[in-house]
Amino acid sequence: MMRWKKLAVIPMLLALLVAACARGAATPVAGLPAEAQAVIKERGLSPDDIVAALRTYIPGGKYDEYIMFSSGGHSGQVLVIGIPSMRLLKVIGVFTPEPWQGYGFGEKGTLEVLEGGFARGKPILWGDTHHPALSETEGEYDGQFLFINDKANARLAVIDLRDFETKQIVKNPNAISDHGGGFVTPNTEYVVEGPQYATPVGWEYAPLDQYKDKYRGLLTFWAFDRQKGRVDPDRSFQIELPPYWQDLCDAGKKVSYGWVFCNSINTEMATGGVEAGNPPFEAGTAKNEMDYLHIINWKKAEELIQAGKYEVMNGMKVLRLTTAAQEGVLFFAPEPKSPHGVDVAPGGEYIVVGGKLDPHVTIYSFEKIQKAIAAGNFERDPFGVPVLKFEDVKEAQVELGLGPLHTVFDDKGYAYTSLFLDSAVARWSLGGPYRKDGAEPWKLVEKLPVHYNIGHIAAAEGDTVSPDGKYVVALNKWSVDRFAPVGPLHPQNFQLIDISGGKMRLLYDMPIGIGEPHYAQIIKADKLKPFLVYPEIGWNAVKMAKDPNATEPGRERMEVREEGGRRVVEIWMTAVRSHFNPERVQIKKGDHVIWHITNIERARDATHGFALGGYNINLSLEPGETATIEFDADQSGTFPFYCTEFCSALHLEMMGYFLVEP
Amino acid sequence: MIERVNAWLQEDPFRLPRAFFIGASWLLLFSLLFPYWRMTLQAPQYPGGLRVDVYVTHLAGDVNEVDNLNHYIGMKKLHEAAQVERFLAPLAIGAAALLGEALAFTRRRWMAVMALPAMLFPLVFLADMYYWLYRYGHDLDPNAPLRLPPFTPPLIGTGVVGQFRTVAELQPGFWMALAASILIALGLHFRRVVRTAIERHQPVRVGPFVLTPEGARA
């Protein structure tokens, strides 16, 4: 018995020796201090592990090179993650109230932001956040704003990156749900919200047997006013599309500036009904070999809108389908087969469509599309939309593997496509102007397994006109066995991949335990210039301006007045370490209370909270911020209010009494 | 170079003390633009430290934050200190500088008194600074959250209050005022040397420099 064991051990040792000699002195493990060697041994780390650790470790006090803004999935929030450390820096409350940030728990400004996203008055306090989009100038991220859509309720949110807070939510007045958004045009002229599941146009009811006549997709162009930092619904418009279930979209850039591309997955116009013996949607929508890439001239659409060729539906200008089809706004090109991602190459020359049910990515040439349109060589679909010939517009097809979904780009002429079914990332070479290194164009180079079921993929500045390369992040839907079990609902898995070398290298698994993120964008960290404290005392963080109710120290007061037969009590309070002023607020039951609180601190990180138990109120008052709460004192009693952000040694004493006489 | 200086002095030997007086008054005036004194507070939660710069006319730096912290021990707000001094300082410095400058244009012995305000200014600043430090450390609000035994924050050097290490240092403004003071002293000295030399008809040399030429007359 012992002998056998020895016999097994000897070849193993020999193998190790050979391996060690093969690596030679170049291995970084040699020459490490004894303590490091001991740690490596104790933790059983491989040389690859050590390289990965060294590539991702950021010592305390040092900053990450990139910041990733990720959809928070069902949490309705946005995650801010450092790269390469994959540390979570912040969760930004967007569609869902967020108590730590005082977002939607009494503060008037934030409640108004959330109310902007109510559906015809109905409170909607979550979101299925999908695609974050950083604002761009000439196709480059400018670090000023972030947009994100809510698929479940067709909404778009605006986050100001001066303070990483949500400033506006707009509800699409004509769409129930959406998908292919948000993404921006190259100068953030518009934030585009693409549709998905077709519904009767104008928020109407129509039975499914009227699907072809009544049901439509709507591509929404939300005009963005950069000066105000707000979407301007009055300048926004929509383009009516056939009920083909448009999926993802991307904006043309550089040579294809002025165009938008969306794909579609249900040109079959399947209406489901598995319970009635019909093919279920999953089969019905996959019947055709080809669906349609939508090619949309938004500059032309903008001209038509300005020329008044629109109808107003629920307050929104809509360019009707017949106009779009006849006036050169909308064209189709066949695409195989129920595809998913559509991504425009950095220079705008190529449009890459991920086949999903087809193992290829199909690459379309913008130049060829323009030639085909000019030649007028097309048929029309049942809605009168010109359909270009596949062979006229196709540049190449590259077979990558099973389930190609989304594509991002690097700085060396390579594209990276997520393969859902293969659970892999494919690196493949672009052609044309991207191929100056003599490598074979349009060819699969390498596949890297990821864990598992990758959806979107994000690259460092990967969908700008000048990607940085360096890193790719795989947004995996399943983590299965990658983390310690935490119950049947498993975390998602973000995997950081180093793409700087000859081979892709997996560096880090980051569990996401808050929702299922869809897309993420990665910006160079030094492009972000956020406030460290608000610029002046009395700052209204929603309006991003000084608040008229800012309270100077020494001007704290309480006023009582009669208004419409009831008492209105208005309080102007300050907060500073470690007290509120006033500390006693005495009113009568039934009073209407308007309460302004200003944090008069100027020190970095000297945030105060304000919680009023029994009234569902919590505020976050960052240094300089003024917040306002307004409510009816409908229950009598003695309510302590206190600071909810541990601010100082006397933080517990930072409280007061709200006394409501019966 | 040396010859040019000697030639310049030969024309009028009082040029040297005059240059000292004029230089001193300008230095004193310019010192208004620079801090005289700085206190830096260091604590774990303030990685860069907190800084209060004292100019003769105003305070600068993290005054708000220091006030904010000081309230815990019942110390008064910094800007309330030395208000009269800060109001008068530009006038006083202007006057002292003018007097210093006036010395350049008189040779009367008793007029040396005019040098006193400018010469003593640095000392007056330190004394006043010490007075306020003493008052602020002793006149603490008895109702403050934290009660400390009375203390005097250091005028120069380091001290410790709670988790704060305080470092007090003199700043360029003070050094300029001190330099002005020394220049005036030198000016007075050389004026006397020159005057004596002329009275005794003896040339005076400092190294290669001839301060008073032979036969110069007062």
* DSSP character string of A482-514: SS---SSSPPEEEEEEE-SSSS-EEEEEEEE-S
Average pLDDT over residues A545-570: 96
A267 assigned to some structural domain:
yes
Calculate how close chain B gets to A336, using CA atoms only, in Å: 58
Asked if the structure places residue A89 within a domain, the reply is no
How much is the pLDDT for A523? 98
Q: Is residue A236 part of a domain?
A: yes
Nearest in space to A344 (alpha carbons), one of A390, A297, A409: A409
Cβ contact, residue pair B64, A578, below 8 Å: no
**CATH number for the domain that contains residue A300:** 2.130.10.10
Please say whether the beta carbons of A405 and A416 come within 8 A. Answer: no
- Residues A502-516 have pLDDT tens digits of 899 999 999 999 999
Tell me the shortest Cα–Cα distance from B194 to chain A, in angstroms.
58
pLDDT > 90 fraction of chain B, expressed in percent and rounded: 60
Q: Assign residue A574 the CATH number of its domain.
A: 2.60.40.420
Q: What is the pLDDT of residues A34-48, one digit of tens each?
A: 999 999 999 999 999
Distance from CA of B65 to the nearest CA of A (A): 6
Report how many domains make up chain A.
2
Note whether A650 contacts B145, CB cutoff 8 Å.
yes
Strand A199-200 with A259-264, pairing: unpaired
Among the residue ranges A233-242, A333-342, A612-621, B94-103, the one predicted with the least confidence is B94-103
pLDDT tens-place string over residues A256-279: 999 999 999 999 999 999 999 999
What is the mean predicted confidence (pLDDT) over A489-501? 97
How far is it, in rounded angstroms, from Cα B39 to Cα B53?
Answer: 7
Answer whether residue A91 is part of any domain.
no
Q: Contact at 8 Å (CB) between A393 and A365?
A: yes
- Beta-carbon separation of A602 and B65 below 8 A: yes
How does residue B213 score in pLDDT terms, banded at 50, 70 and 90?
low
The chain-wide mean pLDDT, for chain A, equals: 94
Chain A residue nearest residue B66, CA to CA? A603
Q: How confident is the model at residue A202 (pLDDT cuts 50, 70, 90)?
A: confident
And the tokens for A393?
């517009």
* pLDDT at residue B162, rounded to an integer: 84
B99-154 pLDDT tens trace: 888 887 877 777 778 888 889 999 999 999 999 999 999 999 999 999 889 999 99
Nearest-by-CA chain A residue for B145: A650
Q: Name the more confident of B2 and A288.
A: A288
Domain-embedded: residue A133: no
In a domain, A188, yes or no: yes
Q: What is the mean pLDDT of residues A54-77?
A: 97
In whole angstroms, what is the distance from residue B72 CA to residue B162 CA? Answer: 11
- Determine, for residues A601 and B145 on separate chains, whether the beta-carbon distance falls below 8 Å: no
C-alpha torsion sign, points B10, B13, B16, B18: negative
CA distance A576 to chain B (A): 8
| Rounded percentage of chain A residues whose pLDDT exceeds 90 | 93
**Which of chain A's residues have a Cβ under 8 Å away from the Cβ of B65?**
602-603
Q: Helix, strand, coil: what percent of chain B each, to 5? A: 55, 15, 25
| A173-186: average pLDDT | 94
pLDDT at A528 over 70: yes
- Smallest Cα–Cα separation from A269: which of A292, A245, A240, A241? A245
Q: How confident is the model at residue A30 (pLDDT cuts 50, 70, 90)?
A: low
Residue A93 binned pLDDT confidence (cut-offs 50, 70, 90) = very high
Q: Which residue among B46, B68, B145 sits closest to A601, beta carbon to beta carbon?
A: B68
A49-76 average pLDDT score: 97
A248 occurs within a structural domain? yes
- Render pLDDT for A439-490 as a digit per residue (tens, 0 to 9): 999 999 999 999 999 999 999 999 999 999 999 999 999 999 999 999 999 9
Asked whether the predicted pLDDT for residue A655 surpasses 80, the reply is: yes
- Residue A570 confidence (pLDDT) above 80: yes
If DSSP states are collapsed to H, E and C, what string results for A423-437? Answer: CEEEEEECCHHHCCC
Q: Considering only A172-176, A336-340, A546-550, which range has the smallest mean pLDDT?
A: A336-340
Indicate whether B215 pLDDT > 70: no
Give the pLDDT confidence score for residue A2 in this predicted structure. Answer: 45
For chain A, the distance separating the N- and C-terminal CA atoms, rounded to the nearest angstrom, is: 87
What pLDDT sits at residue A17? 45
Residue A239 inside a domain? The answer is: yes
Q: Please, which pLDDT band fits residue A215 given cuts at 50, 70 and 90?
A: very high
Average pLDDT for A390-407 = 97
For A531-550, write each residue's pLDDT tens digit. 999 999 999 999 999 999 99
| Domain of A551, in residue numbers | 539-661
Residue B106's contacts (CB-CB under 8 Å, 6 or more residues apart) are: none
Average pLDDT over residues A303-312: 97
Residue A24: is its pLDDT beyond 90? no
